[in-house]
Structure 1
């Protein structure tokens, strides 16, 4: 059950790229997803990502949402969370929760693990927009959670802004070309990539679930708010018959 007819999940989002995925999802699901932006260089490079996900910057994002009736809060940046490693990512969301007055809080990296567990998926193909060294850190994050990565593709794109300019056709082609027959799902880990409007097309292309960063961010945020809703347009993860109780 949820506390309000329209639950509110705050989104702390880095810079600008694909944040329009969130109002699209909010309208589709009948929820509120206010977005607060924090800023740094948008390079997919470890030092810059560590700075982007620093406590001070995340606290600044939480402060922007102080006037919202938050039911949950999400740090909507995969690379800016997994770059800290599993323990660091957990510490990150605990600090963010305290900055937001104790509301349930998660991050996109943690949301990916929650989504895979909810669907019972153990083997994945990763189609990452990042350079290889950053993509390898995401693989390590999933591996620590018990997920087997059977293949990894990296597009080697240096900035989030460039990822945000990829067309739907380019995204579909990238996901299709980097599936693997042994994978139970394809994981696409970048909140800078527009995916929510094409999830059904992505899943049709590969014939299996596709989990994308903005999709799992919304889903886990709503779960933490105590709210579940079926919406097949947003892919297998949002199908009503799937048990999403795991967090």
Structure 2
């Protein structure tokens, strides 16, 4: 059994994680919900949500769960600090937890490399200024962002209410002909149940926040061979 501990902000789309547990044998995903404060995709709010103190408050519970790695299951609450600031955030989390640690933002970078994508498109629920910060984060990691779409949604509560058709439409309109993968940030968005359909819609890998969060935790825990045909190309078995 591999245990990946998740620090998840508030309550939005955390039911994506039991779906993943059901599809990957031998995986345990304990979740500790962190305080989000104000529900707003605004830079100052996101920086407070990802503060060292708020993340550290949940690590003891995850240690007691037997976690082998810890992931801050939030994209925007990491990349809003910039490339260097996001690294500092994760170093502090690892020190507090005494475990390998990362965030969803870094999960996107590592997952894009894993599927061989150097050019990516971003299909985001965020307001434009927040999406722009994600683009800059990806570019700092060496990825080329050939297109990005912002949906101008301010709250996680609204994002969590999106249905399948809205998610598919987001990916379709956010795709770009030159992109080798489409990245869909925001762990408040339900995507796991739709991954095969999303990839079929654009004919390329689609990386979504809750999907890459778990993949990143497994990478840190050095678990090999976690695969499922229902979790997109990121989890596809190697030939």
Q: How does the TM-score come out when normalised to structure 2? A: 0.97
Q: Distance in 2 between matches of 1:115 and 1:185?
A: 10
Encode CA deviations 1:194-245: one digit per residue, 9 max, x unaligned. 0011100000000010000111100010111111311121000001117xxx
Partner of 2:72: 75
Poorly superposed stretches of 4+, deviation over 2 Å: none
Give the alignment partner of residue 22 of structure 2, picking from 15, 21, 27.
27
Partner of 1:52: 49
Give the alignment partner of residue 165 of structure 2, picking from 169, 179, 183.
169
- Mind listing any 5+ residue stretches in structure 1 that lack a counterpart? 1-5, 243-247
Q: Distance in 2 between matches of 1:227 and 1:42?
A: 34
Partner of 1:3: none
Q: Distance in 2 between matches of 1:80 and 1:185?
A: 22
What are the within-5 Å matches in structure 2 for residues 15-164 of structure 1? Answer: 15-30=10-25, 31-39=27-35, 40-100=37-97, 102-164=98-160
Q: Distance in 2 between matches of 1:210 and 1:104?
A: 26
Aligned-residue offset at 1:33: 0.4
Contact 2:123/2:184 (CA < 8 Å) preserved in 1? yes
Give the alignment partner of residue 217 of structure 2, picking from 203, 217, 221.
221
Q: Alignment partner of 1:8: what SS?
A: strand
Contact 2:149/2:173 (CA < 8 Å) preserved in 1? no
1:203 matched to 2:199: yes
Aligned-residue offset at 1:166: 0.2
- Mind listing any 5+ residue stretches in structure 2 that lack a counterpart? none
Aligned-residue offset at 1:63: 2.7
Aligned-residue offset at 1:64: 2.9
Bigger mean CA deviation after superposition, 43-52 or 169-178: 169-178
Q: Alignment partner of 2:146: what SS?
A: strand
Partner of 2:8: 13
Partner of 2:179: 183
Encode CA deviations 1:108-134: one digit per residue, 9 max, x unaligned. 000100011112211111000000000
Contact 2:56/2:93 (CA < 8 Å) preserved in 1? yes
Q: Alignment partner of 2:63: what SS?
A: coil
Q: Alignment partner of 1:158: what SS?
A: coil
Encode CA deviations 1:40-89: one digit per residue, 9 max, x unaligned. 21210000000000000000121332311111000000000000111111
Q: Distance in 2 between matches of 1:105 and 1:155?
A: 30
Q: Distance in 2 between matches of 1:190 and 1:99?
A: 24
